[in-house]
Amino acid sequence: MFEKSLGFKCDETFIEETALQMIKRSLEENNPYKFIVVDLDDPSMMLGRFMSSFKNLTAQIKEIAGATKIDVYAASSTSSARVLRICE
């Protein structure tokens, strides 16, 4: 859908570790992702673990890619206080 509608390629993964590996690989190949979209309602995702691992990966991102910036967007079907805390 994204490729047809918006003209850019989109990768998708359902396992946190795979997502982190894909992010790291994109940086090592000098083809970093522009942004990442996280579905906060995905019951199969261990969100806390993903966010913790992603924070650890940011140090590696700086080491590998210097000033490369990857925006992270979170999507949810609710706007609860819990979701707002996670997004911040």
Segment 56-80, tens digit of pLDDT? 777 776 666 666 777 888 888 877 7
Q: Where are the domains of the chain?
A: 20-87
- The chain-wide mean pLDDT, for the chain, equals 77
Segment 24-37, tens digit of pLDDT? 888 888 888 888 88
Q: How confident is the model at residue 23 (pLDDT cuts 50, 70, 90)?
A: confident
What is the residue-wise DSSP string for 34-56? Answer: SEEEEETT-TT--HHHHHHHHHH
Distance of alpha carbon 74 from alpha carbon 88, whole angstroms: 10
Kindly report the pTM of this predicted structure. 0.66
